[in-house]
Amino acid sequence: MLELKNQVVLVTENGEPTGLAEKMEAHREGWLHLAFSIMVFRNTPSGREYLLQRRAMDKYHSGGLWTNTCCSHPMQNESFQTAAVRRMMEELGVAEELSYRMGDRFCYRAELDNNLVEHELDQILIGESAELDVRLIPEEIMDYGWWPESRIEQLLANAPETFTAWFPEVFLRVKRQLTREMLEQVS
């Protein structure tokens, strides 16, 4: 029997579970499955910054590319909050339990390297932290850093290949939600 963390939850575009599949098989076949993307941000005197990670070169796909703070797949019957805490520790060595608010959920399909396909119903989780104690987990990430919003926008416009396939959509949706929340606080 497969270990739970090597399985993904197959879903419909509405998020209804349809079964389980071995993670690599789901990515080879391009089956729609549940995923989440965490984006941690902080507000600084010079503007908003996002904590990004650079995927390890030997990840099963998208090695060496920059992406949002953390991304993964929830296990069967695991809440997004629980999955977020688990994966922040497994990917970034972050022991602090951040409080995440739910962002958008979107469906995408992308042909990737190694003949794999990401076909995910991706739930965005947004966290805020002025500083995190990150420990490099070499099999997961090769680098990380706080990126100013303007630098991300510049690279998305001029060198989108710097980032993973899902990152532009995650970034734009998070930026839009944070801007909307800021405007609501002002009014």
The reply, when asked if residue 119 is annotated as ligand binding, is no
Token code pair at residue 175? 């930026």
Q: Which residues are catalytic?
A: 71, 120
Residue 52's closest CA among 63, 43, 62, 65? 65
Q: Letter for the amino acid at 169?
A: E
Work out whether strand 70-72 and strand 7-11 pair parallel, antiparallel, or are unpaired: unpaired
Phi, then psi, of 89 in degrees rounded to 5: -75, -45
The reply, when asked if residue 161 is annotated as ligand binding, is no
CA distance 76 to 1: 14
17, 47, 129, 135, 161 from 154: Cα distances, Å: 38, 15, 24, 28, 12
CA distance 101 to 124: 9
DSSP letter at 59 equals S
The reply, when asked if residue 91 is annotated as ligand binding, is yes
Name the binding residues for Mg(2+). 91
Binding-site sequence positions:
27, 33, 73, 91, 118, 120
Residues marked as binding for Mn(2+)? 27, 33, 73, 118, 120
